[in-house]
Amino acid sequence: MSEALLAVDRLSVVFRDTGLFQGNKTTVAVDDVSFELPSEPTLVTIVGESGSGKSTLARTILGLQRSASGTVRYRNRDLSGFRGADWHAFRREVQPVFQDPYATYNPFYRIDRVLKVLVRKFALASNDSDAEALIEDALRAVDLRPQDVLGRYPHQLSGGERQRVMLARVYMMKPKLIVADEPISMIDAALRALFLNILLDFRDQGISSIFITHNLATAYYLGGRIMVMCRGRMIEYGDMDQVVLHPSHPYTQLLIDSVPSHNPHHRWQEERSEYAVDASEFVFSEQACVFEARCPHAMDICHHQRPPFVTAATKASQQSACFLYHDEYRPDQA
């Protein structure tokens, strides 16, 4: 068995709000999440509503957020045991791309600096001309012309260009893994395709990606695997095509059903009832499914016990945390 690139095991992240007036309040942002990235290049997309914990999960994988329990192992080494030199190596191999291309740059420095500091810090080139060649090569790889970008300040570039400079930066590092948190939500449709295609090209060159989005059509385009999160829990995981075309968890079904069809001949048929929209204040419970209050198929057991992860339906490549797929609770068995 080949060693996994990244293994997340029973990871939980808890925020404690020790407010002056409110007393102690805890928020479980990530709740008992486990998954693995294989050693071969893979794209894993994480989808879910806002507040589902997908960004927190990404930050924890990047080592920017402390976990409450569970482990993140990179190439079989636990992140919590990392020291200075380990982090340096980790930062070289695992590269982030953040959501807001307007907030990630220092406005006082030219674009060149973002790329040159990297060359220096990680000793990517031995002399200046090598460094320049490397930078220009990276910019061309993300479909930018070096003369359009170099020497300019961040405010002179569009959002799409800034996000691509970030990808050029990533490309120079030749990382093993990219963790991209909503990288295309702030760029135009015509440029999104370009960004997604770059990620696909990177995969073909051996770079894995964890891609976070709330846009399911984008997720589907990337293929690979998909993880659906709801209120901190991973509720479905599997092959993209299987999950998107045959969603097993009622929450995933709801999400897929809400995606605009892109074809005016196939519009939504009937208006949906109220369960779709999450208006309730969520009370965290160890003893219930996270979706029970909204679920149209909720059974008695769902309110009292947490559904473990099981293989849904007939496909081994699709797992779901739902009692509908537990033999003893299936409605048709009762």
Partner 1 sequence: MTDARPLLTIEDMRIHYDSVRGSYKVVDGVDIEVHRNEIFGLAGESGCGKSTLVEGILRLIEPPGHIRSGTALFRPFPEDPERSLDLVQLDYHAMREIRWKHLSYIPQGSMNSLNPVMRIRDQMTDVVMHHEPGGQDEVSRNIAAALEMVGLPESLGALYPHELSGGMKQRVCIAMAMLLQPALVMADEPTTALDVNVQRAVLETIAHLRDQMGATVIFVSHDLAVHAELVDRMAIMYAGVVMELGTVYEIFDNPQHPYTKRLIHSIPALGGPRERLESIPGMAPSPLAWPEGCRFHPRCPDAMPACSTTTPRTIELDTGRKVTCHLFDPDIDLEQGSA
The residue (of 72 and 290) whose beta carbon lies closer to partner 1 is: 290
Of 49-68, binders to partner 1 (CB under 8 A) are 49-50
Question: How many chain residues touch partner 1 (CB under 8 A)?
Answer: 45
Q: Is 141 in the site for partner 1 (CB under 8 A)?
A: no
Q: Is 172 helix (H, G, I), strand (E, B) or coil?
A: helix
The residue (of 87 and 153) whose beta carbon lies closer to partner 1 is: 153
Of 282-321, binders to partner 1 (CB under 8 A) are none
Q: Is 117 helix (H, G, I), strand (E, B) or coil?
A: helix
Q: Is 190 in the site for partner 1 (CB under 8 A)?
A: yes
Estimate to the nearest angstrom the gap between the alpha carbon of 18 and the chain centroid: 28
Q: Is 155 in the site for partner 1 (CB under 8 A)?
A: no
User: How near is the Cβ of 176 to partner 1 at its closest, in Å?
Assistant: 25
- Distance CA(137)–CA(143), nearest Å, equals 10
The residue (of 45 and 67) whose beta carbon lies closer to partner 1 is: 45
User: How near is the Cβ of 49 to partner 1 at its closest, in Å?
Assistant: 4
Q: Is 271 in the site for partner 1 (CB under 8 A)?
A: yes
| H runs (alpha helix) in 127-233 | 128-141, 146-149, 159-173, 189-204, 216-222
- Distance CA(56)–CA(72), nearest Å, equals 13
The residue (of 89 and 223) whose beta carbon lies closer to partner 1 is: 223
Query: How do strand 43-47 and strand 208-213 relate by DSSP bridges?
Result: parallel
CA angle at 276 for the pair 329 and 256, rounded to the nearest 5°: 80
The residue (of 224 and 307) whose beta carbon lies closer to partner 1 is: 224
Is 289 within 8 Å of 295 (Cβ atoms)?
yes
Task: Take residue 126 and report the two structure tokens written for it.
Answer: 């031995």
The dihedrals phi and psi of 29, each to the nearest 5 degrees, come to -80, -40
The residue (of 106 and 258) whose beta carbon lies closer to partner 1 is: 258
Q: Of these, 1, 20, 123, 279, which contacts partner 1 (CB under 8 A)?
A: 279
Residues 226-265: x where in contact with partner 1 by CB under 8 A, - otherwise, as a string: ------------------xx--------xxxxxxxxxxxx
Q: Is 202 helix (H, G, I), strand (E, B) or coil?
A: helix
Q: Is 197 in the site for partner 1 (CB under 8 A)?
A: yes
The residue (of 64 and 277) whose beta carbon lies closer to partner 1 is: 277
User: How near is the Cβ of 328 to partner 1 at its closest, in Å?
Assistant: 30
What is the spatial order of strands in the sheet that 69-74 belongs to?
23-37, 6-19, 69-74, 77-78
- Distance CA(208)–CA(221), nearest Å, equals 16
CA angle at 179 for the pair 128 and 242, rounded to the nearest 5°: 140
Q: Of these, 10, 88, 140, 272, which contacts partner 1 (CB under 8 A)?
A: 272
Please report, as ranges, the residues that interact with partner 1 according to CB under 8 A: 49-50, 143, 158, 161, 188-194, 196-197, 200, 214, 216-218, 220-221, 223, 244-245, 254-265, 267-268, 271-272, 274, 276-279
